[in-house]
Amino acid sequence: MTTRRQVLTGAGGLVLSVAAASGAMGLVSCAATQQKEAPTPQAVAQLQQAADAQQLPWPYKALDPVATAERGYKAYYDGGCMYGAFEAIIGELRAAVGAPYNTLPTKMMAYGKAGVNGWGTLCGALNGGAAAIYVVSDDKTRDQLIDELYSWYSQEAMPQYTPKNPKFQKIATSTSESPLCHISVTKWCNASGFAALSPERAERCAWVTASVAKYVAEMLNSNAQASFKAAHTIPAAVTQCLACHGKGGAKENVHASRMTSCTQCHTDLGPKHPGSR
């Protein structure tokens, strides 16, 4: 077997052995051309970098949370909420670290706009934030960071961040109790009086995207210093439901390790059912 280093440094030898193994005579002339030039150190370094980029996490450098939020606000208007949150983090790291961040086509995350292509499922800012967390954190911490992000978003009034040059001076806040785009947007429409497809609602989601980007940057910064601590927990009412409906419960038929409210949807539990209101 040829080791990777041999592959990298002995390109001519490799091509010859490939040609021999495959019996493809056409390759021999190609090998002869390649054999003349040994790979440059730059070419070797590039191959090594490409191989390293296959491994997560990618190198992290402390982010400026406000600059990250501002980048997220701008990116929202270029490709929606998921792209906005993802590009906020990855774009800041691209500027600070360079490779491998400059190899990642962040625009792919535009698919997540408005709960994936307008379907109103998972809030795209949260989706993009979690994807960015996955790129830069390790197995031990990424789940905790994502749980904290989702609980924070569900439990607190959003948006929290006001951009430096907003399109509207004031944006109402609302608490969604849910990571779903549909619930988050419609609760905000009810709180603000604006329509779901209005420019005010778009601005609200741009501020939410910036807020998420800022919070992710703050969490990643404290995680990098090993000082991250989750500030939000699962509400007791939900823990109570999951005691029976979650893993190992008497009626294990719900696949949700955490939520902020079950009764925002289940409003009609029978009067004898635990947690009915």
- Contacts to ligand HEC by CB under 6 A: 238, 240-245, 250-251, 253-254, 256, 259, 262-266, 269-270, 273-275
- Distance from C-alpha of 271 to C-alpha of 277, rounded to nearest angstrom: 7
Supply 81's token pair.
Answer: 């909420």
The CB-of-252 to ligand HEC minimum distance in angstroms stands at 10
Q: Which is nearer to ligand HEC, 107 or 266 (CB)?
A: 266
Using the minimum distance from each CB to ligand HEC, give the nearer residue, 192 or 263: 263
Minimum separation from the CB atom of position 215 to ligand HEC (A)? 22
Cα–Cα distance measured from residue 77 to residue 111, given in angstroms and rounded to the nearest whole number: 14
Please say which residue, 98 or 274, places its beta carbon nearer to ligand HEC. Answer: 274
89 vs 149, beta carbon nearer ligand HEC:
149
Shorter beta-carbon distance to ligand HEC: residue 41 or 270: 270
CB of 143 to ligand HEC, least distance (A): 18
Positive or negative torsion for Cα 262, 263, 264, 266: positive
Shortest Å distance, C-beta 153 to ligand HEC = 14
Tokens of 106: 């962040």
Q: Cα 59 to chain center, whole Å?
A: 16
Dmax (CA) for the chain in angstroms is: 84
CB of 240 to ligand HEC, least distance (A): 5
How far apart CA 205 and CA 207 sit, in angstroms, is: 5
Toward ligand HEC, which CB reaches closer, 47 or 244?
Answer: 244
Nearest distance from residue 110's CB to ligand HEC, in Å?
25
**132 phi and psi angles, rounded to 5 deg:** -65, -40
Q: Which residue is nearest to ligand HEC (CB)?
A: 275
Counting beta carbons within 10 angstroms of the beta carbon of residue 220, is it exposed (0 to 12), middle (13 to 18) or buried (19 or more)?
A: buried
Cβ atoms of 130 and 149 closer than 8 Å: yes
